[in-house]
Structure 1
Amino acid sequence: MDGYTLQPPRAPDDIEEFVEKAVPILQDRGVYPREYEGRTIRDRYRLPYPD
């Protein structure tokens, strides 16, 4: 089975610790982006803009 299971943070420090420790590891493994291509979510998913 592939994937990740994340538990909701129990305290504000938990999310900071995750970002500081886990995100760099995931980026080094190529499974979490270092930067995004578009400026907005709409751009990133190539969604059309409303008329």
Structure 2
Amino acid sequence: MTNHVHFVCVPEKEDLLARTFNTLHMRYSQYFNQKRKLKGHLWQGRSYS
């Protein structure tokens, strides 16, 4: 499958992984929406890590 990736990681702090993916999703959504002149949500729903 080419539409997803898998990560295996062990964060040093309890909330670090969730914050990292939250920031990653937010910045990619902003980039994607600016590039295509779109607004709104890019992802289907909240991701849990």
TM-score, with length taken from structure 2: 0.36
TM-score, with length taken from structure 1: 0.35
* Greater relative contact order structure (CA < 8 Å, 6+ sep): 2
